[in-house]
Each structure stands twice: as C-alpha cells, then as structure tokens.
Structure 1
C-alpha cells in the first residue's frame, strides 16, 4: 500500500511536469570572453534544494561517476525510487561555462523501467554550479535543475582548481580550572558549499614550550550560509601540575566530517 501511494504522488508530479521527451544535442561555442574553468561533476546531485521543486517528498536525484550518470525519481521521503535515466556521461569538463554534455541512454538498464525516459540521448547543461536538462510529457516541457549535494571523493565540491575556503574560524579561547580546561571555537559558513556539510574542529592544547598536551575534536554541521557555530571542546588531565598555555585550532569540512584542511595560528586566551 505504501508503494501505491508513493506511485500516485509521482504520477501527479509527472502530469504537472512531464516524464520524458526529445532533447536537442548541440556543441555551441561559448563566448571567448568568459573565464575558463575545470569542473569535476562526479558526486550526488538533486533538485531537492532548488526552490522550484514540486514537493518535499518527491524529487529527482542523480549520481555521476566517471563515465556514467543515473537519475532516479525519489519519493516517500527517500524510501522509494524509480529509474528515470541511465547513460554515458563525461564527468570532467573543461572550458568556459556554460558547458553541454550529451548522454547516451543505456537501453538495457532503462527499457523495462516504468518511469524511465525513452529518449536515445539527453543533453545536460552545467552552469553556475547547477546541472539542468529538459523533461517533457503530454505536450508539456519543463526544465529540471539539479544542485550538487556531495562530491564523489567525499571532499567539498569545487568548480575551479583554486577556491577560497567556505568555512572560517571566527574566534577561539579557553580557560583552565585545576585539571580541567574548557576551550571554545567559533566557526562560520562563508559559502553555499558548506550548507549541510560536517565541520570538524580539532584543537591542540599546548604547553608553555609549545608541546602538545592533548588533541580534542568536535563535529557539527551548517544549516545556512553565514551561520556561526559555537563548538565547546574540553580537556581533562589527571596531573595537577599541567598548565595549558595556548590552543591551536584547525577546521576541516566535508560530507563525512573530513576534507580540505585549513588552520589558523595558535590562538591565545
């Protein structure tokens, strides 16, 4: 019964927006005045974070690997999936944006799928961090826009070879009372790539000679751009003669709690 209801919600979405249709294939030349970039599109993409998505319970999700793209209709809060597209895909593209990628459908994977597109090819456009394609049925066509949710290698998504960090340490400090030291690190989200990702703050508590007395970690996640997270990090020693002189915090970011590494100089209280 659960799957029947989920299929009904998908059918309504299909009637409104369409399921499949002809896509044009082109290799339009991009203006030479635009900046050239190298983009790795491998990872998980979804229209769930796009404002135009029809329902919070039904969305489209694409998984791109080296040479392949697969797109599913997802419903019932993620419990139910139907294949929409499986085909070839050039995941690494180079040149000025926008870029177009033409995917050839894998008939063996899609011919027996109830909600799969029957098109032989489908054209995708990558621009401004979004991947889009057309979807048509019953004489209606709509544009589907996907945004990257996570990178294929577990690292934050980057559309260029050099990009500023999207998480920063705003402030930090500590206080010691006997054998107990309480540290606090404040970090902020400075870019959309950090939303939904895990932030791991690591702190080295240092002695008077700069020696590491202890290394402690705390993990949190960002919910919106500009959010500040206050992460308490404590250190307990069994020696009353141990004095913490400074703390050295660093921060990593990824969808698994680790990734690119940025650090700040030792922060003194």
Structure 2
C-alpha cells in the first residue's frame, strides 16, 4: 500500500548519503589574478550593525543528490517542521517537528530545538531524537545533521 513512497524515501536517504560522500568542496578558491590586495579584512560599519538571522520561512535543501527528492524546513517564530520531500514535491513525510527560541543577537546563530516526540514517533521517517541542533550561516543557510541507515549527512538549505 505504501511501498512506492517508502521506496522513494529510502532512495532519497541513500542519495543524500552518497551525495555527502562525494562533496570535496573546501575553502573558497583563491583568485587566479595574483593580486596583492590586503590579506586582512578591515572591519566595516555594517559588521557592527549585524542583526540576528531572519529564520522565518521555507528552507529547501541545496545539497541533495537528487532533483526530485530533498528535505525542506518550514520555520516560524517558534517552531521548526522538517519534511522528507519526494516525487518532485508530491510526497512529504515528517522528519522533525519541534519548538525553538530564535537567536536574538548577531553571531548567535546556533540553537537547539525541542522535539515533539509523539508527532515524530507517528511518522515512519520521523526522527527519534528528543532535541536537534541547528545552525545558520550565510553560505549554508539553515543546516542540521540527519542520520539514516547508519549514514550522517549535514543538510544545507537556502531560503525559498
């Protein structure tokens, strides 16, 4: 009865795991121009005026190894809900549902969500964790670790 969605989700989990294994990106590539501009960053006025990240919205996975399967987070002022999305968006399965306190100052972009374990337990693909750590950076968006079938992947996202 549910064989196709389950098979699709398992394929997605494997794709996520294999995609993470092939990621060899490291530090940004250096300039090939040989420019000798200052190597140290000078503080600017905008750095002192930094605000906490605006997390509210939909965040879609950017490092999925599949075009029709990914993870997607919906973040409100105090909740985070993450879905496994497959069949190009036609199928969604709950992975995480929890509350959190949004970062309230610049640079404080790490937080822990308290899971709704009853809701996740009712989902075949729901997390079994009571808490989950999240991070926000400009380069990786909202990110978190997901473990499935013995493979841990850091899911990176972009705001939609």
Deviation at 1:117?
Answer: 0.5
1:70 paired to 2:81: yes
Structure 2 gap ranges (5+): 18-42
Tell me the residue number matched to 1:6.
Answer: 5
The two structures have a TM-score, normalised by structure 1, of: 0.44
Q: Is the 8 A contact 1:42 1:91 kept in 2?
A: no
**Larger gyration radius, structure 1 or structure 2:** 1
Structure 1 gap ranges (5+): 19-32, 150-269
Deviation at 1:89?
Answer: 2.1
How many aligned positions are there?
130
Q: Is the 8 A contact 1:103 1:122 kept in 2?
A: yes
Q: Is the 8 A contact 1:100 1:123 kept in 2?
A: yes
1:145 paired to 2:159: no
| Whole-Å separation in 2 of the counterparts to 1:126 and 1:93 | 13
Show CA shifts across 1:45-64 (max 9, x none): 111xx2x2121111111111
- Between Structure 1 and Structure 2, the one with more strand by share is 1
Show CA shifts across 1:157-196 (max 9, x none): xxxxxxxxxxxxxxxxxxxxxxxxxxxxxxxxxxxxxxxx
- Please state whether the residue corresponding to 2:104 is helix, strand or coil: strand
Q: Which residue of 133, 139, 143 maps to 1:123?
A: 133
Written as runs of structure 1 = structure 2, the 5 A alignment for 1:239-258 is none
Tell me the residue number matched to 2:71.
Answer: 60
Do the aligned partners of residues 67 and 82 (structure 1) sit closer, same or farther apart at CA in structure 2, a change above 3 Å counting? same
- Please state whether the residue corresponding to 1:96 is helix, strand or coil: coil
| Whole-Å separation in 2 of the counterparts to 1:44 and 1:91 | 15
Tell me the residue number matched to 2:107.
Answer: 96
| Higher relative contact order, chain-length normalized (CA < 8 Å, sep 6+) | 2
Do the aligned partners of residues 137 and 101 (structure 1) sit closer, same or farther apart at CA in structure 2, a change above 3 Å counting? same
- Between Structure 1 and Structure 2, the one with more helix by share is 2
The two structures have a TM-score, normalised by structure 2, of: 0.72
Deviation at 1:135?
Answer: 1.1
4+ runs deviating over 4 angstroms? none
Deviation at 1:92?
Answer: 5.0
Show CA shifts across 1:89-111 (max 9, x none): 224532226x1010010022111
